[in-house]
Amino acid sequence: MSDQRREVVVRTAEHADVDGLVACSRALFAEDAGTRDPSIDIDWPREHGPRRFAAGIDDPDRLLLVADRDGEVVGHLTGAVAGASAMRPVGVATLVGMYVLPAYRGERIGERLIREFTVWAREKGAELAEVTAYSSNAGARRFYERNGFAEKSVTLEIPL
Per-residue pLDDT at 9: 97
Per-residue pLDDT at 4: 59
Could you report the per-residue pLDDT of 11-36, keeping only the tens digit for each? 999 999 999 999 999 999 999 998 99
Domain 9-144, CATH? 3.40.630.30
As a dihedral over the C-alpha atoms of residue 4, residue 6, residue 10, residue 12, rounded to 10 degrees, the angle is -150
In sequence order, the β-bridge partners of residue 140 are: none
Could you report the per-residue pLDDT of 44-100, keeping only the tens digit for each? 999 999 999 999 999 999 999 999 999 999 999 999 999 989 999 999 999 999 999
Per-residue pLDDT at 2: 46
Per-residue pLDDT at 118: 98
Q: Span 112-127, mean pLDDT? A: 97
Say how far apart CA 101 and CA 110 lie, in whole Å: 10
**Triad 138, 94, 116: Cα angle to 5°:** 90
Per-residue pLDDT at 5: 61
Say how far apart CA 132 and CA 120 lie, in whole Å: 19
Per-residue pLDDT at 6: 78
Evaluate the CA torsion angle 28, 29, 33, 35 in order and state its sign. negative
Q: Span 132-152, mean pLDDT? A: 95
Per-residue pLDDT at 1: 41
Q: What is the pTM of this model?
A: 0.91
